[in-house]
Protein backbone atom coordinates (compact mmCIF):
# COMPACT_ATOMS: atom_id res chain seq x y z
CA UNK A 1 0.00 0.00 0.00
CA UNK A 2 1.18 3.51 -0.74
CA UNK A 3 0.04 6.89 0.55
CA UNK A 4 -0.32 9.89 -1.74
CA UNK A 5 -1.51 13.49 -1.52
CA UNK A 6 -2.89 15.19 -4.62
CA UNK A 7 -5.41 17.77 -5.78
CA UNK A 8 -8.85 16.70 -7.00
CA UNK A 9 -11.45 19.27 -8.11
CA UNK A 10 -9.38 21.99 -6.45
CA UNK A 11 -9.21 20.22 -3.07
CA UNK A 12 -6.22 18.58 -1.44
CA UNK A 13 -6.88 14.85 -1.01
CA UNK A 14 -5.07 12.10 0.87
CA UNK A 15 -5.21 8.56 -0.46
CA UNK A 16 -4.22 5.13 0.81
CA UNK A 17 -3.76 3.09 -2.36
CA UNK A 18 -3.43 -0.71 -2.19
CA UNK A 19 -1.48 -2.71 -4.76
CA UNK A 20 -4.68 -3.94 -6.45
CA UNK A 21 -7.65 -1.75 -5.44
CA UNK A 22 -11.01 -3.56 -5.23
CA UNK A 23 -13.28 -0.59 -4.59
CA UNK A 24 -13.21 3.06 -3.58
CA UNK A 25 -14.22 4.31 -0.13
CA UNK A 26 -14.64 8.03 0.46
CA UNK A 27 -13.72 8.69 4.10
CA UNK A 28 -15.41 11.73 5.68
CA UNK A 29 -14.34 13.00 9.09
CA UNK A 30 -16.60 14.20 11.89
CA UNK A 31 -17.25 17.65 13.31
CA UNK A 32 -13.78 18.33 14.74
CA UNK A 33 -11.83 15.85 12.63
CA UNK A 34 -9.44 16.00 9.70
CA UNK A 35 -8.51 13.84 6.73
CA UNK A 36 -5.44 12.51 8.55
CA UNK A 37 -7.53 11.54 11.58
CA UNK A 38 -10.19 9.62 9.66
CA UNK A 39 -7.60 7.69 7.62
CA UNK A 40 -5.78 6.72 10.82
CA UNK A 41 -9.00 5.00 11.98
CA UNK A 42 -9.39 2.88 8.82
CA UNK A 43 -6.13 0.96 8.21
CA UNK A 44 -7.90 -2.39 7.90
CA UNK A 45 -9.82 -1.29 4.82
CA UNK A 46 -6.69 -0.39 2.87
CA UNK A 47 -5.04 -3.63 3.95
CA UNK A 48 -8.04 -5.51 2.49
CA UNK A 49 -7.73 -3.78 -0.88
CA UNK A 50 -9.96 -0.72 -0.60
CA UNK A 51 -8.73 2.55 -2.08
CA UNK A 52 -9.38 5.23 0.57
CA UNK A 53 -9.78 8.92 -0.28
CA UNK A 54 -10.17 11.63 2.38
CA UNK A 55 -10.36 15.41 2.26
CA UNK A 56 -10.81 18.15 4.84
CA UNK A 57 -14.23 19.79 5.09
CA UNK A 58 -14.22 23.63 4.96
CA UNK A 59 -12.50 25.13 8.03
CA UNK A 60 -11.10 21.73 9.09
CA UNK A 61 -7.53 20.44 9.00
CA UNK A 62 -5.52 22.28 6.36
CA UNK A 63 -8.54 23.58 4.44
CA UNK A 64 -9.65 27.15 4.89
CA UNK A 65 -13.11 28.48 4.26
CA UNK A 66 -15.40 31.41 4.83
CA UNK A 67 -16.45 32.20 8.39
CA UNK A 68 -19.73 30.65 9.49
CA UNK A 69 -22.74 32.78 8.63
CA UNK A 70 -24.67 34.36 11.47
CA UNK A 71 -27.74 34.60 9.26
CA UNK A 72 -30.31 31.86 9.23
CA UNK A 73 -31.53 30.67 5.80
Instruction: Express each pLDDT in 11-56 by its tens digit.
Output: 888 899 999 999 999 888 777 778 888 888 888 888 899 999 888 7
Query: Angle at Cα 47 formed by Cα 32 and Cα 51, nearest 5°?
Result: 65
State how far the Cα of 45 lies from the Cα of 16, in Å rounded to an integer: 9
pLDDT at 14 (0 to 100)? 86
Distance of alpha carbon 4 from its chain centroid, rounded? Answer: 11
pLDDT at 54 (0 to 100)? 87
Amino acid sequence: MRKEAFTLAGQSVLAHIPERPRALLLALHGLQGSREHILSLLPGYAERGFLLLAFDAPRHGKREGPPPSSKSP
